[in-house]
Structure 1
């Protein structure tokens, strides 16, 4: 019960990446970069092991960005001539640089298999690999080829499925698709977003998950959260996902205004519940984490509940990230002991 994990990312060492960068510029090159990334993964795994987490990732230490890290391995995309586009429904009021879609999207070779193999060499615990979801990836590209957002997303779903199947065949225990856009384009989620997500998971032998959050703990997102008054997005997406082929759903509950009662809309699915706020350096106490888990347990059966972070921890300091992981594991342990004691009686 209550197996713990992070969403995926951890802050990178400053000798590998300048601090507080979301779109990474590597400090190293060539063989030094490879060695530096290997060392960063070893540290990320060690931090999770020491904290006592149950399911591990490589901290996404090798990726420049959670979307670009996969897309740079594809053909049909031009990263040499980036253009400015609005993304996420312009929720945060700024544009971002985007690669152009210039031809049919293909996956010439595996993108993350070597990273998976390295991760598995350094832990005996179950491991998770994260991939960008097709809707969110389509929203982050400048399409000059398909001419239709759904067609682009389905093309991305094809190559994501190829990667996910290969990851599963090579021993990945869990494959997570990151879809923050599922909290933005609700009509599109219903029209074709679920279909694209299910295409990603077709014939994948590992457990599949979808992560739906309100964004990283960065200033633009935090500003939006303080002004937002509508937290009803999960009320539309969770019922759709409940009848989908996806195995697990990840939701943000610690730092959002989401009513945990909405978790009942996905009853029967495994649920990763965010009980760690990734938008602050403050480290939760185990008691605070335990209280959040107990609230979630009012709507999710213990065997289906996976305590987690709200989102990735790239923006946080390494000290805060370590502390938050320890609190996550300790808080889950408190509740696990309570549940075991109740069973004894």
Structure 2
């Protein structure tokens, strides 16, 4: 019988100190060449082991082999100049120096496929692999070639589809597209963003997910959240079209957010990765707090479609904090699992 409430993480886990500076996004690698490849694989092994020891059901690589969830993928593409840099405002929130699109974009070789094969060899459990979504990719670049966000997103969607098909062939069970930009550019999401996402998943037989959230627990994001008011209803703008899309899972932020849980009614019928772990705080949730979030979500998500998860990635957190949060996620899911089993038995 299929396990109820299978747990997973939204994405990144902290990197060990031997490979990169801890608690820092975009931290440079400390190793080079073959030693870097070996160090990445060691970090990936540790990430898998820590998820398994915590009782996480759907295992990821913890993004141990990449510096950043968007730019590491872009580095492998033709048409993007990383020597030329421009300053842009990412997600209308904070400024960053980004590479420039100077020619037609294309994928030279597989980007993460070897890493995914390595992950597949580490575990018999279902595995999930995250890719940046088309809209979030274009928001992390300066486009000096296409002069159209929509055209560039469509090209990225075709490239992502190539990569996703090879990840599927490598044994990945769920391919997740990270689209935090979906919480910002609502008109574009509905006009062409979800269509681009559909292009990225075209022809896949494995399950697919889109992760939408309010971002890592960095200052730019937490400051932005303070401006959102008493209710965070951003999901409401894109949920209706996502509910009608071909995507299997929607992954979102719930715990310690001001997202009204009743918004989940708009995506009823979809599988939902419910964020029950706050990645913007170093306080480790109790299992009961996790269980409370899941119980609230169960009013709007059928039990067989609820997947307890983290709000977002945990790369900026201390490793022991992330470990504690994974344990809490697993224990909280088990509490609710037992409650559901008891109800069924009655």
With structure 1 as the length reference, what TM-score do the two structures score?
A: 0.98
Cα separation, 1, equivalents of 2:21 and 2:213: 25
CA contact (8 A) 2:61 2:119 kept: yes
1:73 correspondence with 2:61: no
Q: Give the unaligned 5+ runs of structure 2.
A: none
Following the alignment from structure 2 to structure 1, what is the Cα–Cα distance between the partners of residues 84 and 307?
41
Partner Cα distance (1:21, 1:316) in 2? 8
For the residues of structure 2 that align with 1:314 and 1:80, how far apart are their CA atoms?
Answer: 26
Distance 1:138 1:150 in 2: 9
Matches within 5 A, 1:1-345: 1-89=4-92, 91=93, 94-229=94-229, 231-345=232-346
Answer yes or no: is the 8 Å Cα contact 1:169–1:205 preserved in 2: no
> Matches of 2:322 and 2:26 in 1, distance apart?
19
> For residues 166 and 192 of structure 1, what CA distance do their matches in structure 2 show?
25
Contact 1:267 1:299 in 2 (8 A): yes
The 8 Å contact of residues 120 and 170 in structure 2, kept in 1 or not, is answered as no
Give the TM-score taking structure 2 as reference length.
0.97
How far does residue 24 in structure 1 lie from its aligned partner after superposition? 2.5
Contact kept? 2:136, 2:179, Cα under 8 Å: yes
1:218-270, CA deviations, whole angstroms, 9 ceiling, x for partnerless residues?
12211221232151111121111000011110111113210011001000000
Cα-to-partner distance string for 1:105-163 (whole Å, 9 max, x where unaligned):
11111101100011011111000000000001001111011010000000000000000
Query: How much has 1:287 moved relative to structure 2?
Result: 0.6
Q: For 2:237 and 2:281, locate their aligned partners in 1 and report how far apart those are by CA, in whole Å.
A: 28
Where in structure 1 are there 5+ consecutive unaligned residues?
none
Q: Counterparts of 2:257 and 2:155 in 1: how far apart (Å)? A: 32
Number of positions where the alignment pairs a residue of Structure 1 with one of Structure 2: 342
Contact preservation (8 Å) 1:67, 1:132:
yes
Moved more, 239-248 or 225-234: 225-234
RMSD, aligned CA: 0.9
Runs of 4 or more off by more than 6 Å in structure 1?
none
Q: Which moved more, 1:33-42 or 1:173-182?
A: 33-42
On the 8 A contact 1:313/1:321 being kept in 2, the answer is: yes
Check whether the contact 1:255–1:310 (CA below 8 A) recurs between aligned residues.
Answer: no
Mean CA deviation greater in 60-69 or 228-237: 228-237
Residues 71 and 140 in structure 2, CA contact (< 8 A), matched pair in contact too: no
Query: 1:20, CA displacement in angstroms?
Result: 2.6
Distance 2:7 2:306 in 1: 9
**2-structure distance, mates of 1:104, 1:205:** 29
Q: Distance in 2 between matches of 1:312 and 1:281?
A: 13
Q: Is the 8 A contact 2:268 2:300 kept in 1?
A: yes
Q: Deviations over 1:56-82 (max 9, x none)?
A: 001100101000121111111111222
Please tell me whether the aligned partners of residues 41 and 59 of structure 1 are also in contact (alpha carbons under 8 angstroms): yes
SS at match of 2:224: helix
